[in-house]
Amino acid sequence: MFRNILVTIDLNDPVSWEKALPQAAELAKASGGGLHLLAVVPDMGMPLVEGFFPAHYEEHALTMAKAKLDELAREALPADTPHEQHVALGQITARILETAAATGADLIVMASHDPDLAQNFLIGGHAGKVVRRSPVSVLVVRE
Considering just the CA atoms, what is the radius of gyration of the chain in Å?
A: 15
Instruction: Quick: pLDDT tens for 12-69.
Output: 999 889 999 999 999 999 999 999 999 999 876 666 566 666 677 788 889 999 999 9
Q: For position 118, what pLDDT does the model report? A: 47
For the chain, what is the mean pLDDT? 88
Confidence at residue 121, expressed as pLDDT on a 0 to 100 scale? 45
pLDDT confidence of residue 47: 64
The answer to whether 38 touches 9, Cβ cutoff 8 Å, is yes
pLDDT of residue 120: 44
The answer on pLDDT for 115 being more than 70 is no
Q: Which of 27-31, 76-80, 118-122, 124-128 has the lowest mean pLDDT?
A: 118-122
Of 22, 126, 41, 16, give the one whose Cα is nearest residue 83: 22
Q: Which domains does the chain possess?
A: 4-141 (3.40.50.620)
* pLDDT tens readout for residues 66-99: 999 999 999 999 999 999 999 999 999 999 999 9
